[in-house]
Amino acid sequence: MTTLISVDTALSHVLERALPVQEAESADLHHALGRILSEDLQVRHDIPSADNTSVDGYALRLADLQDDRRLPVSARIPAGTAPEPLAPGTCARIFTGANIPEGADTVVMQEDVEVEDELRRFPEGLRAGDNIRRRGQDLRQGDTALHAGTRLRAQELGLIASLGLAQVPVWRRLRVAVLTTGDELVEPGQPLPPGRIFNTNRFTLQAMLQQLDCEVVVNQTVPDNHDATAIALKRAARQADLIVTSGGVSVGEEDHLRAVLEQHGQLSLWRMAMKPGKPLAFGAIGNIPVLGLPGNPASVLVTGLIICVPFIRRCQGDVRPAPRPIRLPAAFSVDKASIRREYVRARQELRDGHAVVSCYPNQSSGLLSSACWADGLAVVPENQTLAEGDMIDYYPFSDLLG
């Protein structure tokens, strides 16, 4: 398994093997942000449930306006009250969100009305239905408000509240084990001996998984040892739906993950035509999938966004389409074509009033600061060069992880 596999082939291979969570549960609406709906939500009643006003003003029957265009005020209707029918030949003071009284067919904004003691003078050019939100304008009883597979954002939670639901049917959270490998790793806050590095990948992966609303059930550092790697993978497989690792997937004598997968499980993919991130591995321990990401910090981020995130979304039952790139001119060049598709840490900038994509000057896979400078990834296709000004695909981080 030494041939480099294209990114598209690798992603298709991984997604075909994603096992969606099949266990549903009920989530309190207060704590449902980021969860995935497990079933369609039907509308129980029209939304809004009655005609109501979109402005503060006066409700009237347009036919009651005579030549002097003046009417007396017969009622005051705040939001939350059930109004009496409008008395003929009068208007009603009404406030935003209040139900339209029977008999009224128009609402006039208060700014457009002249106050003359007990009378109100209305302008010309009024039309029946002005400033009235009709019953069922948003959703009708029996409509599908949201479909299964929807990830719940703030706007979905508001819509669900408008249905009158306090509990939401969702898939349970995906349980993920994070294993960071390497004898050189030291936890932040501890002294840093010579030759050692702080464990950055643990926190990158944990944050990414939390942002995807996964439940991290294991978060362990594993030494560079074949037996320790095997034990850690088997233990994680008993607790998690997915195992995500960093390091140990290259060709060095201290890289044990690939060998353990081949000996104790299955290895179905290794080495992508991708930069950074060539030594990515995919396999399984029993029936639990394992995504083996590279060890370099920037490689972990990029492979996590391009391969790991779509896989997790598929496992979660998230039905949103894959993010679409923005096409922008490049403010950098690539003189030498590569057989690997390169994901460049980049950001949008304005040059002479026009949006362009600039790249960080050092794209080393060990530089995580480049990703902090960037706000997305620009894609240089395999076997292509790039001249400054050429159009390039650009993915904001917010789209890749949102």
Pairing verdict, β 144-146 and 41-42: antiparallel
pLDDT (tens digit per residue) in 186-224: 999 999 999 999 999 999 999 999 999 999 999 999 999
What SS3 state is found at 290?
Answer: strand
* Position 392, amino acid: I
Residue 186 lies in a domain: yes
Element spanning 16, H or E: helix 7-16
pLDDT digits (tens, 9 = 90+) for 78-104: 999 999 999 999 999 999 999 999 999
Same domain, 155 and 203: no
Q: Give residue for tokens 């590569």.
A: 338
- 290 plus 165 within the same structural domain: no
* pLDDT at residue 85, as a whole number: 98
Which residue range forms the structural domain that includes residue 390?
326-401
Say which residue, 141 or 250, is predicted with more confidence: 141
Instruction: Give Dmax (Cα) for the chain.
Output: 96
Say if residue 1's pLDDT is above 60: no
Write down which residue in 316, 349, 376 finishes a domain.
316
Residues 177 and 259 in one domain: yes
Chain segment 51-69, per-residue pLDDT in tens: 999 999 999 999 999 999 9
Residues 29 and 165 in one domain: yes
Mean of the per-residue pLDDT values of the chain: 95
* pLDDT exceeds cutoff 90 at 248: no
**338 and 227, same domain (yes or no):** no
Q: Give the pLDDT score at 256.
A: 85
32 and 162, same domain (yes or no): yes
Are 266 and 198 members of one domain? Answer: yes
> 264: how many CB neighbours lie within 10 A of its CB?
17
Q: Give the pairing type, strands 24-28 and 266-270.
A: unpaired
Looking at the structure, tell me whether residues 211 and 225 fall in a common domain.
yes
Identify the CATH number of the domain in which residue 154 sits. Answer: 3.90.105.10
What are the C-alpha distances in Å from 343 to residues 9, 284, 357, 367, 382? 16, 27, 13, 14, 10
The predicted structure's pLDDT at residue 347 = 98
Distances, alpha carbon 41 to alpha carbons 44, 127, 171, in Å: 9, 36, 14
Q: Is residue 296 part of a domain?
A: yes
Are the CB atoms for 275 and 301 separated by under 8 Å?
no
Structure-token match 């998690």, residue found: 240
- The rounded distance, in Å, linking the Cα atoms of 4 and 229 is 25
Which CATH number does the domain housing residue 107 bear? 2.170.190.11
Distance CA 108, CA 129 (A): 10
Domains in the chain, number: 4
The verdict on 214 and 312 lying in the same domain is: yes
Q: Assess whether 34 and 163 both reside in one domain.
A: yes
How far apart CA 154 and CA 161 sit, in angstroms, is 11
User: Token pair 């057989």 is at which residue?
Assistant: 339
Q: Is 71 helix (H, G, I), strand (E, B) or coil?
A: strand
Computed from CA positions of residues 169, 244, 231, 194, in that sequence, does the dihedral angle turn out positive or negative? negative
In a domain, 255, yes or no: yes
Q: Tell me what percent of the chain is helix, strand and coil, each rounded to the nearest 5.
A: 20, 30, 45
- Convert the pLDDT of each residue in 323-369 to its tens digit: 999 999 999 999 999 999 999 999 999 999 999 999 999 999 999 99
Structure tokens given for 180: 């960071």
In the three-class reduction of DSSP (H, G, I as helix; E, B as strand; rest coil), residue 235 is classed as helix
Q: Which residues contact 31 (CB under 8 A, 6 or more apart)?
A: none
How many other CB atoms sit within 10 Å of the CB of residue 364?
13
Contact criterion met (CB below 8 Å) for 55 and 111 = no
Instruction: Give one DSSP letter per residue of 169-225, joined into a string.
Output: EEEPPPEEEEEEE-TTEE-TTS---TT-EE-HHHHHHHHHHHHTT-EEEEEEEE-S-
Summarize pLDDT for 274-297 with one digit per residue, the tens: 999 999 999 999 999 999 999 999
- C-alpha 398/C-alpha 202 separation (Å) is 21
CA-CA distance, 281 to 270, in Å (whole number)?
4
User: 110: which DSSP letter?
Assistant: G
**pLDDT at 314 (0 to 100):** 97
End-to-end Cα spacing for the chain: 34
